[in-house]
Amino acid sequence: MEEGRPHTNLPTKTLGLDADLQKKHQAMLDRLSNRHQARLDTSLARRSDSANSSESTSSFLSRFSASKQSIDSQLADSRLIATSDPSRLRSHFANISSSISDLEKLVAENSYFLPSYEVRSSLKTISDLKQSLEILNSELIPKKKFSFKNKATAKKELPKEPEPIKPDTVSLSNFKLPNSPGFRNKTNETLVKKLRGTEIGEFTLSDLESCEVRLIGCCNAVFMNRLTNCKVYMGPVIGSILIEEVEGCVF
């Protein structure tokens, strides 16, 4: 009877071993299934990221191209502005420089998802735009040349020679000639008067035309009125010379 008991327990042990194997097999299948699902999720995520990156790159290139065309147009207008209104050039170039800076910021903000060759190409384009702006700036707004200015040497002022004292010459309108010795109402004559050794204080020349008058010596005053095309030669006059209505005469 005791020898028969072990035989009755064998099926129970076998069943227990089969259950453990089934559990292990099921756990392995679950792990494989989870791993496969994780791979599928990763693949889908990568595809989604790739699609988003492609869309972002396309959007960036569109914005970059539009900004570049605008800057190129502004650069092309620079020469026209230099011809029509040069005073606007400085503000015009400042606007272009600001647009190039904005384009540079656009590249920096989107460089994390852009392909490396797109980043290099964009930076090269920005560098070319900056160079074009510098060339136009130096060509259309030339810099002022610095030059040393020689200090003006102070000229020594020479002492002025005293001017010779001239007898007073006065022109008076509506002046009533005094009744003094003189020449009056003569035409085309040579008139000579020696004043030396005389006591003539005043001498009058009135209403003479095309005459040559020579007064030799000196007197106190000479009055001239209505002389035309006459030549008058006289010595020193102590006082004044009064002249009125004289035309074409030489003194």
**Is the residue at 192 inside a domain?**
yes
DSSP run (H or E) holding 203: strand 202-209
The answer to whether 92 and 81 are in contact (CB under 8 A) is yes
Domain check: are 88 and 132 in the same one? Answer: yes
Domain CATH for 66: 1.20.58
Does the pLDDT value for residue 77 go beyond 80?
yes
pLDDT digits (tens, 9 = 90+) for 168-197: 444 444 556 567 788 999 999 999 888 765
Domain CATH for 176: 2.160.20.70
pLDDT of residue 4: 46
Measured CA to CA, the distance from residue 64 to residue 110 in angstroms comes to 11
Does the pLDDT value for residue 78 go beyond 70?
yes
105 lies in which domain range?
18-140
Can you give the pTM of this predicted structure? 0.39
Domain end (from 91, 124, 140):
140
DSSP run (H or E) holding 225: strand 221-228
pLDDT digits (tens, 9 = 90+) for 119-165: 889 999 999 999 999 999 888 886 666 555 555 555 566 666 656 55
Which DSSP state fits 178?
-
Domain check: are 58 and 108 in the same one? Answer: yes
Confidence of residue 244 (pLDDT cuts 50, 70, 90): confident
Domain check: are 180 and 219 in the same one? Answer: yes
Domain check: are 120 and 27 in the same one? Answer: yes
Domain check: are 63 and 177 in the same one? Answer: no
Domain check: are 134 and 23 in the same one? Answer: yes
